């Protein structure tokens, strides 16, 4: 009896071990790991919180600070290198390189701000922040692109959720940093250096490309993740509004940070539940799989007959096919996509559309000071942008997927609408509407967030997933160009020009290394009128893409993925049928004889 109990206990331990292994190697735990990586990968959106420390510690004027911001945007959006690396290596390599870059870049900035090293030249600071920010593209490529490839029929939902966590990351990191360091803003730079690197290192081998499996309730599971993320966003909103009115103690910051961590890990409950269901189904068919091995051994042709014959297509140089692209939706080569008119339109739209909202977000702190808002409102603006950035990402991801599935509503048209709405936020800043910066922060955050899932989903749909790692980063690389034109050339120079005009009017000479400060509506009025015009131009260009792709979006753009999944399902069912019909003969051992044969 004790032997039986021991055997039963051993079987239970084995089952628990199998379940644990199934959970931590499953595709849903991979999604959960990607959520955590994305939730701390948005340090580039927090520039307004620590830019003041850089400006005062190193004695920069506004144009120099805007130049630094541009290199931050350049690093955060130009991910061609990470994309090309991901084409030839597994995702863990990309995540590991990103972790090293993140820590090294921000650590050097922290050393400079704290005065622990000699004041670096401007070009070195630009290099440091570019390297640190560029790590974000490695996290995006390693985690987000991998998830899109693993869930191709839910790409809009996946992009919306993951980019949503990136949008929330500014508020998440802020609350965690308060729990660690209180109000020490200089330590924030060190915190955003080591935290994202540590999270990526922990999940290096979890994030990987897996076999695409069609699951009936796949979208419902993503909606469950969405509800938890909405709860997290709502909690952050309440906490941030409260913090803007009251001064929190260290204990209150610790409690807030602990709740944020609990909400971040809440999706693991859904992961465990879904993986447990899949594990139970797997256990039920294990015996049939054992029979399948016997069938294959006795009759190899039974399984080999269902396998597709190896492709005999002759490889053609990518240079010879540059101007002979396939149909929209098929897999383009990198060069075919780069030289296509559709990609040129998307690149132009991103340059002037995203570039405008990015300029507004990067200058929110300075805009608030010039318009006379209190210092507590500056952090409120940053938080509002972060929360509504998240809302825009998940809304555009889920809503565009739903409208596309039900009504064939094209994603480029939704992108055009979002760009037009962002013009309202620009005009509120341009005319200095009383308390309008609060509304503008909401509009800028929402529109900036909504643009990214749409742009990246459009790229995946028009040009295929084969080289998506590179094309994804190519699409995001346009925004730094727009940020440089609209932020440095337009906003930065016009701000300094107005500040110098006010200084001359006051009759006070400018001291060495004195900050140029500007007050009043005129500081940014002309800049944002120009940005509004550039955004309207982006709307017009985007609408051209709507016209060009209207026929494509009227069709079934996910047909090939569904057919591939159905073919795999049919193949599995056929093998199961063979196992069932072949099982009785295998149950009787060949050496067993009847009583008559034994007597003879």
pLDDT tens by residue, 1-24: 454 555 555 556 556 667 788 888
Other CB atoms within 10 Å distance of the CB of residue 241: 13
Cβ atoms of 349 and 414 within 8 Å: the answer is no
- In this predicted structure, the answer to whether residue 576 has a pLDDT above a threshold of 70 is no
- Across residues 488-494, what is the average pLDDT? 86
The pLDDT of residue 297 is 44
Give the pLDDT confidence score for residue 152 in this predicted structure. 84
Long-range interactions of 108-112: CB distance < 8 A, separation 24+: 109/54, 109/189, 109/193, 110/186, 110/189, 110/190, 110/193, 112/57, 112/58
Per-residue pLDDT for 59 more than 90?
A: no
Question: Residue 358 above 90 pLDDT?
Answer: no
Digit-coded pLDDT (tens) for 242-259: 887 788 888 888 999 999
What CATH number does the domain located at 21-209+219-265+322-558 have? Answer: 1.20.1250.20
Angle at 268 between CA 267 and CA 270, to 5 degrees: 70
Check if the beta carbon of residue 129 is closer than 8 Å to that of residue 104: no
Q: What is the mean pLDDT of residues 316-342?
A: 82
For residue 188, the model assigns a pLDDT of: 87
Of 500 and 224, more confident: 224
pLDDT > 50? residue 65: yes
Question: Rounded to whole angstroms, how far apart are CA atoms 3 and 5?
Answer: 5
Whether the CB-CB separation of 87 and 473 falls below 8 Å is answered with no
pLDDT at 599 over 70: no
| Max Cα–Cα distance, the chain, nearest Å | 126
pLDDT of residue 285: 60
Region of poorest pLDDT, from 263-272, 427-436, 470-479: 470-479
- pLDDT score, position 300: 43
Please state, as a whole number, how many other Cβ atoms lie within 10 Å of the Cβ of residue 72: 27
The pTM (predicted TM-score) of the whole model is 0.77
CA distance 26 to 30: 7
Please state which of the ranges 395-399, 406-410, 579-583 shows the lowest mean pLDDT: 579-583
Which helix H or strand E contains 247, and what residues bound it? Answer: none
The arithmetic mean of pLDDT across residues 178-199, rounded, is: 87
pLDDT interval class at 34 (50, 70, 90): very high
Of the segments 69-73, 216-220, 262-266, which one has the largest average pLDDT value?
Answer: 262-266
Q: Looking at residue 286, what is its pLDDT?
A: 59
pLDDT of residue 582: 52
Q: Could you tell me if 196 and 135 are in contact, meaning their C-beta atoms sit under 8 angstroms apart?
A: yes
Q: For residues 194 and 52, which has the higher predicted lDDT (pLDDT)?
A: 194
Instruction: Please choose, from the candidates 383, 438, 371, 343, the residue with its C-alpha nearest in 3D space to the C-alpha of residue 46.
Output: 383
Three-state secondary structure readout of 434-449: CCHHHHHHHHHHHHHH
pLDDT band at 411 (very low <50, low <70, confident <90, very high): very high
Q: How far from 234 is each of 9, 107, 231, 238, 246, CA to CA, in Å?
A: 45, 32, 5, 6, 18
Phi-psi domain of 218 (left: phi exceeds 0; alpha: psi -120 through 50; beta: other): alpha
What pLDDT score was predicted for residue 307? 41
The two tokens of residue 559 are 């047909």
Interval 94-121: pLDDT, tens: 999 999 999 999 999 999 998 888 889 9
- Side-chain half-sphere CA neighbours of 19 within 13 A: 14
Estimate the crossing angle of helix 525-548 against helix 493-506, to 10 degrees: 170
**Tens digit of pLDDT for each residue in 504-557?**
877 666 665 556 778 888 889 999 999 999 999 999 999 999 999 999 998 877
Q: State residue 429's pLDDT score.
A: 92
Look at the alpha carbons of 78, 67, 362, 348 in this order and tell me if their dihedral is positive or negative: negative
Q: Of residues 344 and 279, which shows the higher confidence score?
A: 344
């Amino acid at each position: 009896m004790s032997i039986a109990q021991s055997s039963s206990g051993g079987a239970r331990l084995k089952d628990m071990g199998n379940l644990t292994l199934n959970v931590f190697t499953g595709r849903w735990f991979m999604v959960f790991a990607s959520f955590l990586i994305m939730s701390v990968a948005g340090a580039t959106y927090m520039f307004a919180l620590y830019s003041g420390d850089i400006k005062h510690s190193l004695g920069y004027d506004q144009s120099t600070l805007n130049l630094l911001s541009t290199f931050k945007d350049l690093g955060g959006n130009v991910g061609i290198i990470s994309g090309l690396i991901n084409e030839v290596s597994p995702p863990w390599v990309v995540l590991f390189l990103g972790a090293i870059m993140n820590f090294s870049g921000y650590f050097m900035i922290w050393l400079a701000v704290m005065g622990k090293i000699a004041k670096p030249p401007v070009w070195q600071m630009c290099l440091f922040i570019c390297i640190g920010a560029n790590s974000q593209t490695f996290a995006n490529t390693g985690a987000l692109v991998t998830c899109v490839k693993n869930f191709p029929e839910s790409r809009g939902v996946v992009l919306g959720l993951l980019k949503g966590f990136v949008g929330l990351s500014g508020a998440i990191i802020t609350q965690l940093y308060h729990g660690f360091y209180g109000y020490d803003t200089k330590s924030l730079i060190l915190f955003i250096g080591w935290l994202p690197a540590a999270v990526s290192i922990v999940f290096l081998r979890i994030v990987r490309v897996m076999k695409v499996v069609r699951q009936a309730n796949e979208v419902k599971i993503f909606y469950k993740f969405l509800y938890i993320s909405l709860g997290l966003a709502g909690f952050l909103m309440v906490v941030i509004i409260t913090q803007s009115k009251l001064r929190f103690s260290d204990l209150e910051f610790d409690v807030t940070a602990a709740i944020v961590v609990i909400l971040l890990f809440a999706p693991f409950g859904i992961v465990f539940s879904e993986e447990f269901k899949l594990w139970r189904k797997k256990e039920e068919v294990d015996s049939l799989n054992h029979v399948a091995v016997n069938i294959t051994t006795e009759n190899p042709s039974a399984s080999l007959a269902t396998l597709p014959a190896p492709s005999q297509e002759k490889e053609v140089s990518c240079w010879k096919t540059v101007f002979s692209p396939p149909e929209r939706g098929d897999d383009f080569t990198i060069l075919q996509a780069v030289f296509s008119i559709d990609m040129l339109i998307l690149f132009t739209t991103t340059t002037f559309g995203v570039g405008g909202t990015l300029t507004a977000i990067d200058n929110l702190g300075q805009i608030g000071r010039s318009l006379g808002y209190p210092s507590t409102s500056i952090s409120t603006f940053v938080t509002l942008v972060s929360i509504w950035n998240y809302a825009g990402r998940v809304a555009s991801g889920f809503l565009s997927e739903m409208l596309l599935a039900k009504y064939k509503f094209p994603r480029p048209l939704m992108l055009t609408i979002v760009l037009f709405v962002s013009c309202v936020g620009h005009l509120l800043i341009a005319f200095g509407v009383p308390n309008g910066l609060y509304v503008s922060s909401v509009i800028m955050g929402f529109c900036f967030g909504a643009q990214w899932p749409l742009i990246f989903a459009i790229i995946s749909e028009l040009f295929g997933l084969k080289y998506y790692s590179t094309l994804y980063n190519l699409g995001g690389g346009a925004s730094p160009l727009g940020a440089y034109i609209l932020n440095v050339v337009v906003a930065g120079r016009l701000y300094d020009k107005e500040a110098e005009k006010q200084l001359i009017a006051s009759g006070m000479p400018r001291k060495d290394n004195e900050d140029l400060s500007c007050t009043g509506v005129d500081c940014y009025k002309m800049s944002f009128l120009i940005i509004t015009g550039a955004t309207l131009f982006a709307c017009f260009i985007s609408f051209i893409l709507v016209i060009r792709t209207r026929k494509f979006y009227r069709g079934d753009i996910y047909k090939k993925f569904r057919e591939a999944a159905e073919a795999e399902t049919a193949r599995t069912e056929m093998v199961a049928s063979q196992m069932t019909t072949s099982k009785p003969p295998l149950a009787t051992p060949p050496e067993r004889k009847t009583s008559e044969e034994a007597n003879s």
